[in-house]
Structure 1
């Protein structure tokens, strides 16, 4: 007599097998973008094959959905920055740099004084055990109008802790504009310490400020007897009077970098 328990296991096995077959078939039928696969998609496939992993094994290693690696390799979905960081750590030095740069980490700009092999061992991914040397800063996109530490940014930027006086209160924003040329180029990433917002304490400092109409602006904050002024580096760009109201000081710009073309 066949036991009820044995039948249950058989049904479960058939269900799993059928599910795996359906997933495999759906992956096979996924369309490839008309312009071909992007470079990062090819690199992910090369990484997986170099490590001798199946797509399912890679998904399990990265703790993502079983279909995610196939979508990445076909160029259908681009992985988030956190996945690129994990891929870099997974493959190790020197191939790690391609994936970390895709995540927004620049080898030349952020750790040019460090040994890449040593950094590859120390670097931490957002969500993993925190590092004493590195911090993941929220990275806000150019179109951001509000900068909340509680909501954070969609992506993160890795930076050395000793570069940030208040690491837990530091954010990054992709600056857009010509007001700070030639000191600050368009599309630069600026790090902003939000611990101090008082204009009196930020006299002569570069700050990030927001306005309901003008949006976010990076300017020099200059205090005079008449009041505070947000002054650009570029003389062809207008200044703003803080007395006009509605200006919100996000914080002081403590460093910045730009990815070289």
Structure 2
């Protein structure tokens, strides 16, 4: 297990996705400690003094890949006082502090898995998907939901993974209708490869176990990973229990 480290980081880039959702790219002062996909970091806006206490911080899933140790990436939405400070105070070139890695929300590679992501909760799965091997026998079902189509901000990464992973099946859930909804329009003027487009679909509404259930090859043998807003965590986990999924097969990213 990696030893937790405290790192000063320079904010290299801030991307605004609209809807008060942002991606922040950090350049650590030295290579980050080794971490596993699904782990998280603590981010502090105030300076850290090694002779004193760790300042106020908030936790964020590490969206970048573990082998990119000279770069860290997080995505956040403005939902409270701390993220409101982030929106107001973070600028490209400024310094912040992180401590990492933490958490055991790590997707198994030995069983079929179902990933259920709402909004920025998708960041808990990006490194896992990006690092999955095409030859793996593992079946992966992904449900990825957002308020609007433009906030499916990791869709390009998911599309790349769908092309390389023949056993990845993807369902997008969009709460607010805006523009066309379908399987072949990916919002960037390109069409997916035919075999990939058959494993991607969109529908209006929130992430739904009922809608995903027929897509899961062996639902009683899979492990389920849920990351998203608290209301989604509660409703999805309860739905799975109602369908007879054992508690030990339901994994919840519940640090928010």
TM-score with structure 2 setting the length: 0.25
Higher relative helix content = 1
| Structure whose alpha-carbon radius of gyration is higher | 1
Report which structure shows greater RCO (CA 8 Å, sep ≥6): 2
TM-score with structure 1 setting the length: 0.24
Higher relative strand content = 2
